[in-house]
Chains A and B, each alone.
Chain A
Amino acid sequence: MRFNVIKKRYAMAVDTRRCVGCSACSLACKAENDLPIEGFRSWVETETKGTFPNLAMEIRSERCEQCSNAACVSNCPTGASHYSKGGVVLVDRDLCTGCKACVAACPFSARYIHPDGYADKCTFCLHRVERGQQVACAENCPTKSLTFGDANDPESDIARLLRERQWKQLDTAAGTKPNLYYLV
């Protein structure tokens, strides 16, 4: 048995090679989290480069980057945006006034304002993770492109993937230390 001295750091690896951009992640999330029809906590980005017929395209399933140095948290005037278990950034709906400071601060456009008036975004399905279940998008992904886990546990699938595969991160210039990794 290992001593649990290192804090958990929940992270996700998104395999851009396997992903076909079908949006099953976005929709499984929407159903699991009972989101409003216009609300998305995850979405698909496709980036095409080149001109016909010399083209390249990358497909990414995106969501909140669960930054360790999150601009949304530091810019939240009420303390609603906060770090929860495993470093996951959550919004406390009771404290959120819907002021949109976090929406403006987030370099990844990960947040939207829920019709009920609070800022909403990916929670890494902490309610499921706490019960020992997978995050909903990763559990459903037909292409198994999404791997969630504790990046600080060297034996986790995600830690292994980050050791074995090449990856990149989005917009690291903002200095927010994102916890999403895009396998390339």
Chain B
Amino acid sequence: MPFTRRQFIRIGAAAGGVAAASGLTTNWWNLQAHEIPDPKTDGDHVVPTFCELCFWKCGVLAHVKNGRVTKIVGNPAHPLSRGRICPRGTGAAALLYDPDRLKQPLLRRSKRGQQVFEAVSWSAALDETAKQMDAIRTKYGPEAFALFTHGWGGSWFTRLMQAYGSPNIAAPSYAQCRGPRDVAFTMTFGQGLGSPESIDIENARCITLLGSHLGENMHNTQVQEFAEAIGKGAQLVVVDPRFSTAASKAKYWLPIKPGTDIALLLAWMNVIIDEKRYDAEYVTKYATGFDELTKHVASKTPEWAYPITGIPAEKIRETARFIAGFRPASLIHPGRHATWYGDDTQRMRAVGILAALLGSWGRRGGYILPSAMELPKYPGKAAHTAAVAADRKQPSLYPLADETLASGVCDATIPGQSSYQLHGWLVYGTNLMQSLPDPRNTEKAIQALDFIAAIDVLPAEITGWSDVVLPESTYLERYDDAWSPAYKQPFIAVRQPAVQPMYDSKPGWWIARQLAERLGVDDYFDWTDPRQVIDWRLKAAHQDPGKVFLNGVVEGQRVPVCEEDGLQLSFDTPSKKIELHSATLAAAGFPPIPDYTPHEEPPAGMFRLLFGRAPTHTFGRTTNNRFLGSVYGENEVWINSIAAKSLAGFEDRPLKNGEYIVLENQDGIRSAKVKAKVTERIRGDAVYLVHGWGHTSNGLKFAKGRGASDSTLVTRYATDPIMGGTGMSVNFVRVVRVEA
């Protein structure tokens, strides 16, 4: 954001006006007399590791000089960064040196949520945590204790839970984010998309984005490939209520009415089938249910979809033809954050089915099937719980969920909400007050707990609600487990400390191990140094640990990832085919082919609240980062310029761009003050916020009070009946004036 800089200059320019008149002429003669300034930020040594400013995990090089990290750059040897990192990644040193970091273990000394703590020793904090965990284990059984986790370092705590004996291990990245997508693709093709997503953006000739704001969402390699594709002339079709960065580069921008994407997808299928533009050979060979699909979409004409979506029938036809014209290298991008309206698995099924009609699954420029390098698990005692997770009211609910629901685990903490109640939480690296819907409900659950401990780097809101706070080292100060994802260029990457832990922070592996010891389950941790685990795994993978740590990464053999490479396609579905019609869904009582069902619309005077990302931030994880904040230091609420002219309560003076307002939702909940961005770039029936702002934690001295939290306003959500995802784009807000 050049705002600060510009302001700065304007002041400077005014003051410099007089001096300007006295200018001299050029002085080429002086060429060699001046020194070339060198900021000297190169390290005296460079440590390869991988980033954790988001969850993409790019390979980076940390420059270290006199024991301080001076800068982070991309590791050219790492397939996910190729020497280039996103803006957030460059801010890692500012996280490491954030003055607001949690510095010592803390014990709560007042009511929960009041943020009153006493700094204590590690042994006191660990003893207390273990004592409470032990008490819960004795009183209710180990399954009454839950772990919420997000991030690569969470693996040590997952191990701790396995040792302790609880199945209640949940990440909000499932039911609050990508869950519906992965379930839908598993239903359709027999496998989910994982992270990094198994898509071949780079070779796509046409990319269709539905609500996915690539370029604002900076998953590094995806954006790199996106630019590469654009550079090679790929065409874009962008479906978004907002004129996103991607939309500005698109051949077609379709500003769809929020909540109607399924109707558009069905109409596209209608045109593509009706005009025989699908890949008939591919569909015959690999898919089942085509006749049912044809019948299903026969009435879903562009004329039918127009009044629903607001997109003229001719535009729908034209774009359907356009998209089909590039098949199979026509990528319908699956997005990532998919929990919008509660019918998200069905929407993602529609995306998958359309991709199948285009013959783009298993094809270059479409969905590819990468492999991971072998990286054997460190041997050890197996998890020992017989209990099922408490994440649903009845075990029969959400039959197709394949991971634990974080929202359900939270609910199960409130008496009577599940088959059994949870009494203790360990929260690793996820700010539940912003990552779960309806923070009022989360508060209620927390107040019902016997015990809650948080492990974090910064004093996020959740730490203020905890009984014990355990300060973790940042990724630049610690080892974590090795990583071998499925990717078109297979690799194994390692994380290692660039500098010693600052303050009294400790790496996650150490904290988990210490707790295991105190709980008498350290037989699950038969090592004392994480290098024993990592080196064992690398050797079992026939790698030389010394070499891997020297480079931060080792690449494996590329293998065929699509038909063009010679890959034979197979599908791990019940029919062993692509299931355009899903018997599994039908058997579970759900529509076997996606249907459009209307969603409630905002009442007059209110807007649908949409949220997303800014390229410089990973939601609340980076909002306290002063380095990143220098570019983007508060969120704004986007409001359409015409809609801004007729706001109730603004009759005497219309809303001004840059004016601070508050948002009030359908339940009367008000946001913090937030700057209005009055813009042409959004529909008149929705407003948009970047997620993760509006912090209230006293410890976040930079972030506190900046912008508004969309999470506060998400007091209701629509649950996906198929897998329990929480659709959060179902809240309505009005704009309230606060400035005199």
A interface, CB within 8 angstroms of B: 15, 17-24, 26-28, 30-34, 37-40, 43-45, 48, 50-53, 55-59, 70, 73-77, 79, 82-85, 90, 92-93, 99-105, 109, 111-113, 123, 126-127, 130, 139-145
Contact B36 A74 (CB under 8 A): no
Residue contact A22 to B615, C-beta cutoff 8 Å: yes
Expressed in whole angstroms, the Cα–Cα distance for A130 and B230 within the complex equals: 32
Are A24 and B90 in touch, CB under 8 angstroms?
yes
Total A-B Cβ pairs within 8 A: 225
Query: Which residues of B have CB within 8 Å of A113?
Result: 8, 12
25 pairs across A/B with beta carbons < 8 Å? A18-B227, A22-B616, A24-B85, A27-B87, A27-B616, A28-B85, A30-B90, A31-B70, A37-B626, A43-B5, A48-B680, A48-B681, A55-B243, A56-B248, A57-B243, A70-B26, A74-B26, A93-B37, A103-B16, A104-B12, A123-B36, A127-B38, A130-B36, A140-B85, A140-B90
Q: Chain A residues near B25 (CB, 8 Å)?
A: 74
Contact status A55-B680, CB under 8 Å: yes
Q: What CA separation (Å) do A100 and B8 show in the bound complex?
A: 12
Residues of chain A contacted by B546 (CB below 8 angstroms): none
B615 touching A23 by the CB < 8 A rule?
A: yes
The answer on a CB contact under 8 Å between A109 and B19 is no
List the A side residues contacting B90 at CB < 8 Å. Answer: 24, 27-28, 30-31, 140
Q: How many residues of B sit at the interface, in one of the four size bands?
A: 35 or more
Contact B37 A123 (CB under 8 A): yes
A84 touches B31 (CB 8 A): yes
Q: Could you list which residues of chain B lie within 8 angstroms of chain A, going by C-beta atoms?
A: 2, 4-6, 8-9, 12-13, 15-17, 19-20, 22-28, 30-31, 34-39, 41, 70-74, 83-87, 90-91, 93, 214-216, 218, 220, 223-224, 226-228, 230-231, 243, 245-249, 253, 255, 615-616, 626-628, 630-632, 640-642, 679-684
Beta-carbon nearest neighbor of B616 in chain A: A23
Specify the chain B residue showing the minimal Cβ separation from A55. Answer: B243
Check if A83 sits within 8 Å of B31, measured CB to CB: yes
Q: Which of B16, B74, B215, B626 contacts A140 (CB 8 A)?
A: B74
Closest to A126 in B: B36
Given A28-B73, A32-B71, A57-B248: A101 and B83 interface contact (C-beta under 8 Å): no
- Cβ contact within 8 Å between A103 and B22: no
Question: Which residue of chain B has the shortest Cβ distance to A99 in the bound complex?
Answer: B19
Give the residue of B2, B24, B243, B248 whose beta carbon is less than 8 angstroms from that of A59: B248
CB-CB nearest in chain A for B72: A31
Are the CB atoms of B35 and A92 closer together than 8 Å? yes
- Nearest Cβ on chain A to B272's Cβ, whole angstroms: 24
Give 7 nearest A-B pairs by CB, closest first.
A100-B16, A20-B215, A143-B227, A75-B23, A57-B248, A22-B615, A127-B38
Q: Are A143 and B36 in contact (CB under 8 A)?
A: no
Q: Which of B2, B31, B684 contacts A43 (CB 8 A)?
A: B2
* Contact pick for A84, options B5, B36, B71, B220, CB 8 Å: B36
Separation of A31 and B615 alpha carbons in the complex (Å): 17
CA distance A108 to B246 in the complex (A): 27
Known A75-B20, A101-B16; contact A111-B9, beta-carbon cutoff 8 A? yes
**When the two chains form their complex, are residues A142 and B8 in contact, meaning their CB atoms are under 8 A apart?**
no
Query: Contact at B9–A109, with CB atoms within 8 Å?
Result: yes
Which residues of chain A are near B74, meaning CB under 8 Å? 140
Identity of the chain B residue whose Cβ is nearest the Cβ of A129 in the assembled complex:
B36
Contacts of B91 in A (CB 8 A): 27
CA distance A6 to B632 in the complex (A): 43
> Do residues B6 and A59 form an inter-chain contact, with CB atoms below 8 A?
no
CA distance A151 to B168 in the complex (A): 61
CB neighbours (8 Å) of A85 from chain B are 36
Least Cβ–Cβ distance between B216 and chain A, in angstroms: 8
> Contacts A55-B681, A83-B26 hold; do A21 and B215 have CB atoms under 8 A apart?
yes
Q: How far is the CB of A136 from chain B (nearest CB, A)?
A: 8
